Structure 1
Amino acid sequence: MTRPHRQHAATARQDDILELDAFVDAVYLPHVKMRKRSWRVDERITRKRLSPVFGDRRLDGILRGEVENWLHDLAAQGLSPSTCNRNLAVFKSVCSLAMLHGVLPAGQSPCAGVRAFKIHWQRERCLNIAEARRLMRALERSPCAAAAAIRLLLLTGARKSEILKARWENVRLDQRLLTVPLSKSGRPRHILLSDEAVAVLRALPRRPECPWLFPGHAPGKPLSDIFLFWRDLRRTLGLNDIRIHDLRHTFAS
């Protein structure tokens, strides 16, 4: 008598996660949180890129052609080929795990056969002195937190994630140091702060009980992205070919 009841309960639980959003919340995100340091990237992509289009759809009802159209729509919105490919990679990972859990039939991922965009080699682009000064003046005039974050990127050569996820407890203005507890190499990294970088940090407003240099819009979270601000600013300044990562190259040069 108990076995049919257990089978019915298992089927009900599986039915509950057939839709993409439900599967991501119940299975995929818990899975990647245990296995990937960069799991928040997966979370952001599933929330921002997958959910609005496929969130309420059953995974076994999504067609390959729809995934193809979705990928090309991302490119049409102005996302770079590499960014589009990262989004597709997360979608493929979701579907692979869904097949492993029996939510998708084996070999029937809607992402199967969807080809990533070719990435053409891009030369490193650094700002020249005139461009860097023009950019810095524009950033200094802006009251946005994103502007202050970009100033620090240009003044320190830090990675975007290292600045956006920086905590006040890791800032030592007396020693002119910003410590990254866990860098990309897996070890702590110490970033030297110039007079200008220290001035930017001193001018940042501090919220009581908020650990982040750049608090996000969601309570308890850091600022998650600065792309929209950066996109509009570089268009205004005529620096459309400059990427955020190029600021790191500029500092190094």
Structure 2
Amino acid sequence: MATIVKTEAGTWKALVRKTGWPTNTKTFRTKRDAEDWARRTEDEMVRGVYIQRSGSERMTLEMALKRYLSEISPTKKPTTQRAEATKAQQLISHLGKYSMAALSAEIIAGYRDTRLASITNRGKPTSNNTVRLELALLSHLFTVAIQEWGLGLSFNPVLNIRKPSPGEGRDRRLSAEEERRLLTAVNNHSNPMLGWIVRIALETGMRSSEITSLRRHQVDMKKRVVRLSDTKNDSARTVPLSKWATETFQAALNNPVRPIDCDLVFFGEPGKNGKRSPYAFTKTWGLLKTKLGMPDLRFHDLRHEFSQHCKCFAKHSYYPIRVEPDRIGLMRCA
């Protein structure tokens, strides 16, 4: 039987003791609420379905996300860690004060609708994909809390709501004139590594992080391939090199200013610890594309050019031909 006692503060405390189960207590404003909870708890214990919910009731979403970022995120790639930290801030600002037990599908659906109607710092509506990724983080948080943290949650409420459609996606393409001006600008930059990186992206479709993190042993000049072990999808892959990409890599590997002890293909200045990090060109890239009148161009968009070249190759059975002798401009497929 449960014990119901009145506290000095005027509230009612319910105490449930049952063999084989931990002692459980909870405080309520009214005696009837305390009796109802005690009766329901004892019934669940008898049926063997009782779940200790106090952990999820005490832990707010903000507390849970901070724990997730400190325990789960560090097992992922640095780029993923930074992305999750940004998504967590949005979730905390809107839902952070709710307890994990109080977060229902209705509340999360309201968050979804609010985010979709919000305007970003750039003056544009929040994209469907951004909200989908925030909900994905929240869903995985619930999964971890249920399976590993023992918070007493019985289900994942995110699974019960509609997710925003993926949307049309991004398809920014370079015109022939834009590509010509871009290649001219990067080739004339004071640091030749910028031009090499852009040309390799156009020729191989590799991501910027994959290019800048390359070590010399990953580039096989004899077989004309680059072997990637650390990719976005966590699966190793081999990237074949066209003639132009091979020549570009050869120039990068023969960089006369490379320190003897540096194995990076594209290297930056030494840090405070004396070690060199990959060449960081994000700021330079941003200034350059703005100067060229292409502020909406992203480095990742260069992958679209590569994929289009591959489609042309599959259709016509030949590689896209770069114009000689200055290699600026693209002989596009019809």
The TM-score with structure 1 as length reference comes to 0.62
Aligned to 2:177: 130
1:89 aligns with 2:136: yes
Matched with 2:88 is: 50
Unpaired runs of 5+ in structure 1? 5-10
Shift of 1:119: 0.5
Deviates more, 1:72-81 or 1:215-224: 215-224
Q: What is residue 67 of structure 2 aligned with on the other side?
A: 22
Q: 1:249 to 1:146 in 2, by over 3 A?
A: same
1:53 Cα deviation from its structure 2 partner: 6.3
Judge which range, 107-116 or 44-53, deviates more: 107-116
The one-letter amino acid of 2:247's match is: D
When Rg is computed on C-alpha atoms for both structures, the one with the higher figure is: 2
Q: 1:171 aligns with which of 219, 223, 227?
A: 219
Greater share of residues in strand: 2
Indicate the RMSD between aligned Cα atoms, in angstroms: 4.9
Distance in 2 (CA, whole Å) between partners of 1:248 and 1:53 is: 31
Distance in 2 (alpha carbons) for counterparts of 1:48 and 1:195: 39
Residue identity opposite 1:170 in structure 2? Q
SS of equivalent residue, structure 2 residue 99:
helix
> Distance between the aligned counterparts of 1:233 and 1:117, measured in 2?
34
Of all paired residues, the percent bearing the same amino acid is 20
Aligned counterpart, 1:250:
305
Task: Identify which range, 214-223 or 238-247, moves more after superposition.
Answer: 214-223
- Preserved contact between residue 18 and residue 103 of structure 1 (Cα < 8 Å): no
Q: Select 1:60's aligned residue among 99, 103, 117.
A: 99
Structure 1 stretch displaced more, 136-145 or 204-213:
204-213
Distance (whole Å) between structure 1 residues aligned to residue 222 and residue 162 of structure 2? 53
Choose the corresponding residue for 2:293, options 229, 238, 247.
238
Distance 2:268 2:192 in 1: 12
Q: Conserved in 2, the CA contact under 8 Å of 1:29 and 1:43?
A: yes
Structure with the bigger RCO (C-alpha within 8 Å, sep 6+) is 1
Asked whether the equivalents of residues 96 and 109 of structure 1 are also in contact (C-alpha less than 8 Å), the reply is: no
Read off the aligned partner of 1:48 and give its amino acid letter: T
Question: Which is worse superposed, 212-221 or 241-250?
Answer: 212-221
Aligned residues: 237
Letter paired with 1:246: D
Pick one of 181, 190, 195 that aligns with 2:229: 181
1:153 corresponds in structure 2 to 201
State the TM-score, normalizing by the size of structure 2: 0.50
Task: Provide the rounded CA distance (Å) in 2 between the counterparts of 1:238 and 1:81.
Answer: 27
Q: CA shift at 1:135, angstroms?
A: 1.0
CA positional deviation for 1:189: 0.4
